[in-house]
Amino acid sequence: MQRVEEARNLHGAPPVAAVRNDTDLHEAARMLVHPLRPAELPVVPPAEPRIEPKVAVLLNANARKVTDKVIRSLSHVVPAEDLFVSRTLLDARRIAQTVVDRRYTVVFTGGGDGTFIGFLNEIHKQLELRRRYFPQTTPRFGVLKLGTGNGLSALVNASPLRGDGILDDVLRARAGEVPGYRALDLIEIDGKRTHFAGLGVDGKLLNDYIWVKENLGRGAFSRVLTGPGGYFTSVAFKTVPHYFAHSTLVECEVVNGHHAAYKLDADGSVTAEFGPGDTLFRGKLMMCAAGTIPFYGFNFKMFPFAGKRPGTMHLRLAHVTAAEVLANLGRLWKGRWFNERIHDFYVRDVTVHFARPMPFQIGGDAEGYRDQLRMRVSDEPIQLVDFTGTVN
């Protein structure tokens, strides 16, 4: 009896003079076995299992830097069922269907801005078909630095091809260890999404660069004429000389769409506001282009204010002369050349009418000639894998 009473006092039970009967003895024994109430026990929630992103890598075999060596290197870090190589438009469509069917969470593209635009639009087509019946989220996109201009690669600080750079980018994404994700607005033109497009001199510039690269950038000149040097060469010795002999200025009207638009000065400050349906510009132009990222390629900063106002594109109108472009090419390249005949706007929706067909490009790829088009910011931005928080 005495031992039971001592035990009760040891565990915090109030002291008693004696245990009088079997009922008291049973209660004392119960407290010895269960000294704490269940509510007093600490509750530790079960650890949630870490879910690694499901990553696909889509390569354009026609891109110059997508070599057999690069494909073999990626095959060492990417499972065979997640590594896709496209050689034709039909390949791209089939790959996009598989990507959507398997619900990849992150999709890397390798082959430049044109490759990114091609796969992006094929994936969106597949998503639109399926969303008629059930909801499905858009995957996040990553960019491997395997193209020519690599405008998007510069935006997200993608690793260079040298060493194991592109392999590290993919491995970090597969491990869920990327620094972050960047929202990217897209421009819709005739149902096609892109991050920049243009009519006029910029379209001819890109066409001229392709000509220089394919006709002169071979053999001993390949290193000089297939990178930034090729861009400078095509501008200085092909595009600008053409416009010395031919008129660059064509009558154009640019009309605002269904949202407010804003005219900008040289530091990006708003100087005027336009309402729906207002005419933004009427007169002669050499170029009408828009972008949601600053760069064309090789850090050519054509749209210095792009991405600074979510839900808009940077519209740039220019009616400068070929001589002025040549004289200010360096400042133009760095996004620092402004004058009274370069007009910058934030817009969501515009319609452009030229008096005659002009060279047209979407995402750096030539699209023939157009005399009018409508450009609008897509209602659905995408998420890009962003490595700007790391040193690559």
Model pLDDT for residues 188-237, shown as the tens digit of each residue = 999 999 999 999 887 777 777 777 776 676 665 555 555 566 667 777 77
| Residue partners of 302: CB distance under 8 A and separation at least 6 | 196, 202, 289, 291, 294, 295, 296, 316, 335
Is the pLDDT confidence value at 1 over 60?
no
- The pLDDT of 244-260, averaged and rounded, is 88
Residue 156: its pLDDT value, please?
93
Q: C-alpha distances in angstroms, 286 versus 88, 246, 382?
A: 34, 11, 31
| Residue 105 DSSP SS3 | coil
- The pLDDT of 304-322, averaged and rounded, is 93
Listed ranges 20-29, 287-296, 322-331; the one with the highest mean pLDDT: 287-296
- Pinpoint the residues of the chain covered by CATH 3.40.50.10330: 55-178
Is the pLDDT confidence value at 17 over 50?
no
Kindly state the helix (H) or strand (E) to which residue 166 belongs, with its residue range: helix 165-174
| Residue partners of 241: CB distance under 8 A and separation at least 6 | 322
Type of residue found at 181 = Y
Is the pLDDT confidence value at 327 over 90?
no
Q: Nearest to residue 238, comparing CAs of 212, 264, 214, 217?
A: 212
CATH number of 55-178: 3.40.50.10330
Residue 18: its pLDDT value, please?
45
Task: Give the CA angle between residues 182, 184, 187 to the nearest 5°.
Answer: 175
Residue 38: its pLDDT value, please?
42
Burial class (CB in 10 A: 0-12, 13-18, 19+), 77: middle
Is the pLDDT confidence value at 72 over 90?
yes
Residue 226: its pLDDT value, please?
58
* Mean pLDDT value across the chain: 84
Residue 11: its pLDDT value, please?
44
pTM: 0.79
Is the pLDDT confidence value at 138 over 80?
yes
- The pLDDT of 317-330, averaged and rounded, is 85
Counting Cα atoms < 13 Å in the Cβ hemisphere of 356 gives: 6
Range in 229-238, 272-281, 373-382, 383-392 with the lowest mean pLDDT: 229-238
Other CB atoms within a 10 A radius of the CB of residue 382 amount to: 20
Is the pLDDT confidence value at 271 over 50?
yes
Residues 147 and 125: their CA atoms lie apart, in Å, by 24
- The pLDDT of 26-35, averaged and rounded, is 48
- Pinpoint the residues of the chain covered by CATH 2.60.200.40: 194-379
Residue 117: its pLDDT value, please?
95
- The pLDDT of 341-370, averaged and rounded, is 92
End-to-end CA distance of the chain: 76
- Structure confidence at residue 261 as a pLDDT band (50, 70, 90): very high
Q: What architecture is the 194-379 domain classified under in CATH?
A: Sandwich (2.60)
Burial class (CB in 10 A: 0-12, 13-18, 19+), 42: exposed
Is the pLDDT confidence value at 282 over 70?
yes
- The pLDDT of 279-293, averaged and rounded, is 96
Residue 352: its pLDDT value, please?
97
